[in-house]
Amino acid sequence: MPGLPASVDLDECIERLYKKELLADSVIEAICAKTKELLMKESNVVHIAAPVTVVGDIHGQFFDMIEIFKIGGFCPDTNYLFLGELSSRVLACSADILSSAGSCAELNTFFASEPNGVADTLFHLGDYVDRGLFSVETISLLVCLKLRYPCRVHLIRGNHESRGVTQSYGFYTECNRKYGNANVWHYFTDMFDFLTLSVVINNQIFCVHGGLSPSIHSIDQIKIIDRFREIPHEGPMADLVWSDPDPEKDEFSLSPRGAGYTFGAQVVKKFLDVNKMNHILRAHQLCQEGYQVLYDDRLSTVWSAPNYCYRCGNMASVLEVSDQGERVFNVFDAAPENDLHRGEQQNQPNQDGQGVVVEYFL
Amino acid sequence: MTVNGRVEPDSHYPSPTDAGNSITQHGFKITTRKLPILKADPIEKVTKNLGIAPPEMIFGDNLVSIDYESGWGIQFNTYDALDQVDKTGGSMLQVAHSREWQSTREKKHKGITEVVKPFDWSYSTDYKGTLRSSSPLLEASTIPIPVELLKRPDPILFFDEVILYEDEMADNGITMYSCKIRVMPARLLLLCRFFMRLDNVLLRIRDTRVYVDFGTGEVIREYMAKEEKYEVVRQKLAWRGQDVPAQLRDPNNIIDLLPVVNKSLERLVVR
């Protein structure tokens, strides 16, 4: 497996990103290319073993992501699974130990210093970018962590990890503003096409960004999806990143929006029975309490962007899954650093920060 | 469940000031309240009472009110704004890729035809505020809001911005209702704006302005609804050569590009 250019030192990149410094666009290009090679080998359903900390939507809220590491442990001491929506939204990251053991061993050799026997994995459920102010820094850091600790950090694709949505919701504009051109946006969004669609923890917990699809009964049907593409408007791949539970229904229903589904209690029960699993874990929906548990503890929503858009006042959480598969929500509030950077936020167009700027509007 | 120890939950959301700001000028009491989005239980209650699924971000406790000592008063609150949304599905918009989506779907999943509670999920509202029950009504008028007086750089004694609700329309755009108020020594202006952008389909702005002259007790309410097809606005912005998606996120950048579809002017002297 070819390495990164000699000039790219991942540890140094990570160090700089923890300080919220931007990487050069040539470095981003190299890192995204390398990440694509890595992700290409992942199945559409990545099997991992607990312990792992699962993270929901982040949406570019950089300081709150650092807060997650402070609470849950830094990589590689904790395994992470990010469930997506990084840019101005959330992400899932986790340890990939079962399914791609071969490639992991290879990568660990390549990256040499991966410690053995460290407990947890970090796992992100998608939606890493858009809406927050630091989508570029957020996604850059997560991608570097994925490359550096490929078996301890897992990223699932969210509906915001797409070209269309990132153009409407801010990531494109942020890349342009910070780099003076759209190249970095192209590197990232091309790489998004390779993110996996789902993760299974301990053969028990099915993790996905949005939810279930009427086209998918068995997880084997997910494995045959051609995922290396922009998220389509319809079909199983769209459903996995878009659909929402509806606790008042039993079956699938059409969304009033004219595209997309909601899924009910019986759908969840049947999916778990067929696949011999006991829980579905997803992100995608804002909850004031930071998480929501539905269907007699068969499905959880985890939301990891506190005070979403710097104005919702909501709590956030990460879900810690222990070796035995026990689930504990770790709830947290917005990081204090957000207040210090409130001025910076107010200077951004379209960010109605908590602080109020007096204005002679008409 | 554990809570991280460093920050007490609810310690800064809301801060005491966000829970209610007010100022009284010449007998007019102006109040704003900003609290976090609703929790799951209140959302369930609101859902039941409204009869529709509420927006993703529902600031159910937020409000702006203007009350005069005589008993006249007007308030903008989240529940009443949402109560004006069409709940029948009669004016339902559909996302741009809806036709493509449905034609593919029909072949595969014919069994799933039920739409969950059809309603106007763009949460379009023509809400112009809620008058206090004892308040005399405003009457149709031709006297406009005195814009020139509002352009004067009078000191602003009180300013606030309050969001009532917001929804990202499952990433197909944005819909939101927000209020801005500024109080000067002799007058105030309140602007309550509904803004909706359904990507590749439609842009809609509905502004309600309330003007109060403290000296005369004159209250003027102006309502103006504007809308235009998305593609028409997109082309005009592209012609200007700007970052179109960024422009489309801010209603101030596009309001002049939308034709007026409905307007009204009302007036009342409360003194």
pLDDT at position A124 is 61
Cis status of the peptide bond prior to B14, with omega within 30 of 0? yes
Residue A260: closest C-alpha in chain B: B101
pLDDT at position B116 is 63
pLDDT at position B108 is 61
Is A187 part of a structural domain of the chain?
yes
pLDDT at position B69 is 94
Model ipTM value: 0.83
Residues of B in contact with A293 (CB under 8 A): none
Report whether pLDDT(A149) > 70. yes
Average pLDDT over residues B27-55: 94
pLDDT at position B19 is 63
pLDDT, mean over chain B: 87
pLDDT at position B104 is 60
The domain in which residue A289 lies consists of 50-346
SS3 state at B84 = coil
Give me the sign of the Cα torsion angle A343, A145, A9, A88: negative
Residues of A in contact with B12 (CB under 8 A): 333-334
Report whether pLDDT(A23) > 80. yes
C-alpha dihedral, A198 to A291 to A192 to A187, nearest 10°: -160
Distance (Å, whole) CA A308 – CA B16? 20
Domain residue extents for chain B: 21-92+120-269
pLDDT at position A20 is 95
Instruction: Judge: B243–A253 Cβ closer than 8 Å, yes or no.
Output: no
Cβ-proximal residues to B97 (8 Å cutoff; 6+ apart), any chain = A233, A234, A259
SS3 state at B211 = strand
pLDDT at position B106 is 52
**Is this structure's pTM higher than 0.90?**
no
Sheet with B218-229, edge to edge strand ranges: B57-58, B158-167, B173-183, B187-198, B202-213, B218-229, B260-269, B139-140
Average pLDDT over residues B111-129: 82
Higher per-residue confidence, A340 vs A270 = A270
Report whether pLDDT(B114) > 50. yes
Quick one: pLDDT band at residue A334, thresholds 50, 70, 90? very high
The count of structural domains within chain A is 1
Is A202 part of a structural domain of the chain?
yes
Range in A244-248, B86-90, B253-257 the model is least confident about: B86-90
Range in A21-35, A162-176, A316-330, B102-116 the model is least confident about: B102-116
Range in A20-24, A91-95, B9-13, B172-176 the model is least confident about: A91-95
Those of residues 150-209 in B touching chain A at CB distance below 8 A are: 150-151, 153, 156, 159-161, 163, 168-173, 178, 180, 182, 189, 191, 199
Active site residue: A47, A124, A160, A279, which one?
A160
CATH number at residue A314: 3.60.21.10
Residues of B in contact with A303 (CB under 8 A): none
Report whether pLDDT(B103) > 80. no
pLDDT, mean over chain A: 84
pLDDT at position A107 is 36
Q: Does the active-site annotation cover A186?
A: no
Average pLDDT over residues B241-261: 88
The DSSP secondary-structure symbol of B70 reads T
